[in-house]
Amino acid sequence: RMDWMEQIRAYQPLIQQEVTDQKQMLEDLQQYGSRILFRDLETVHMTCSGFVLDASMEWVLMVQHKIYQSVCWTGGHADGCEDLLAVAVREAQEETGLSDIFPLCSQLISLEILPVPAHEKYGKPVAAHRHNNVTYGLIGSRRGKPTGNEAENDGAAWYPVADLPQICKEAHMLPIYEKLITRMRQIKKQQQAILKQLPSLLLPWYAVHARDLPWRKDQDPYHVWVSEIMLQQTRVEAVKTYYLRFLKELPNLQALAESSVDQVQKLWEGLGYYTRVKNLRLAAKMIQADYGGVFPDQYAAIRKLPGIGDYTAGAICSICFQQPTPAVDGNVLRVIMRLTDCYYEIDSPTVKRAIQAALAEDYPTTQCGDFTQSLIEIGATVCLPNGVPQCDCCPLAQICRSHLFGTPDVLPTRKKKQKRKVESRSVFILQCGKKYALRRREQTGLLAGMWEYPNVLGWMSEQQAIHQATAWDCQPVELLKMVHKKHIFTHIEWNMIGFYLQCRTQSPAFEWYTAEEIRRNLSLPTAFRMFRPDMNLEAYLL
């Protein structure tokens, strides 16, 4: 991103007053440099304002300022921070008590020099001085109730934009506010206009650069459906082998509908997120029963199938039936946020739905499937995550606001992740003769209905483990070895200790299988598969 000095230098004044103010700011930068970021420079210092509108841009969030005795925008001193945008967001959140406030974009939307009269703060006199102020446009959610901040203001509230002339007592600020509203609405239109250009830029690029993937050989909805379910939360390279093996054994809807639970789970073994394949099989049965084995071709019907959400329904309808139904995944969200230089949190369902609706308006009349896949493809191969997009070979660089303002390394933004829950577990690999104990997990919850080695919450000592095996009526004879493993799910982490015990009795509490039977016929989720006695490290990593 441009540093704060570059932003001030690059800003293009909208009115004559800004020309004058920018000139003064540049002279101050020449004289004081970064010292102007600090308040101990008493005559002048940098401040950052955030002008907060709601998504409709018809409501404005203002605070009742104690010094000026008027409703006004939010803002505060830079206090040494060079990320002026971050200061504007922080001050807006602190002054209004709302956390759902985000930048409309990264660019400055205004700059002005603001005189500050002498006043008292925290009981101490403050001499008259001036603020070299920069303003950013922010978007807030009206779902939360503003609370204000007693140290800074006498409250905060949302007001209709049309009411500003009546509620603002600072006549000299009204033209600034009106300019900010106009500017933010213009930026929103510019962001929306970018989406309209996508088909003409992406379709020719996709025709040349599309990867040769096995599920792109045809538009059979069964093939596309299976691939899309497999690709959720899984890398493309990992899916290729699974996809071909799955279709070889279950080549059509009827075969999937007639398959057994163990059969499909074994085919899925190692892909993780096993609810996906459970729902895949249930949906196939539903299609056989309700649609005569013919895959439905309407979005609403497809969306009702188990395990199919907006993304998968959109992908199937556009790729297989050439309907203008976007498939918005993480790749697409990242591309759109960077193209528009937008700071909305992409893990918000509201944001995802808004992007889906916006894209649907700009779909081409033909090649809907290619357009859907081109959006996914540009995110997967060019507009890469973690701040490393290949802008030099991107067909969208010419219209990309993030590329223009240097923000791909900070976009997209996400909600702060909650700390993952950590559980300790003791896992028992109980061997009697050549057979090992397994049991089914409960039909609901994590890894529902999957096979597992017997296990209990908490780490046990060797003696406790022997007592536990005895309580299961397995008559343990010898502790062969102990191993430690860790497995990370989306929201939980298992730290596990595995006890390999030689036993005399095959307890009826479990089902007993040979290592070969487990390997060939039964699907163990990865959390337990890595304890399999015949599973060496190389095989586990594969």
DSSP secondary structure string, 341-403? T---BTT-HHHHHHHHHHHHTT--SS-HHHHHHHHHHHHHHTS-STT---GGG-TTGGG-HHH
44-54 vs 129-140, strand pairing mode:
parallel
435-440 vs 421-432, strand pairing mode:
antiparallel
Distance (Å, whole) CA 127 – CA 8 = 26
Would you give the DSSP letter of residue 51?
A: E
Q: DSSP states of 364-376 as a string?
A: -SS-HHHHHHHHH
pLDDT at 68: 59
User: Which position has the token pair 């096993």?
Assistant: 274
pLDDT at 395: 96
Tokens found for residue 384:
């890469």
Contact between 282 and 290 under an 8 Å Cβ cutoff? The reply is no
Distance (Å, whole) CA 114 – CA 178 = 17
Stretches where the chain sits below pLDDT 50 are 536-542
Is the entire prediction scored with pTM above 0.85?
no
pLDDT at 539: 35
Residues that are catalytic: 228
pLDDT at 427: 95
pLDDT at 125: 73
- Beta-carbon contacts of residue 538 (< 8 Å; ≥ 6 apart): none
pLDDT at 168: 83
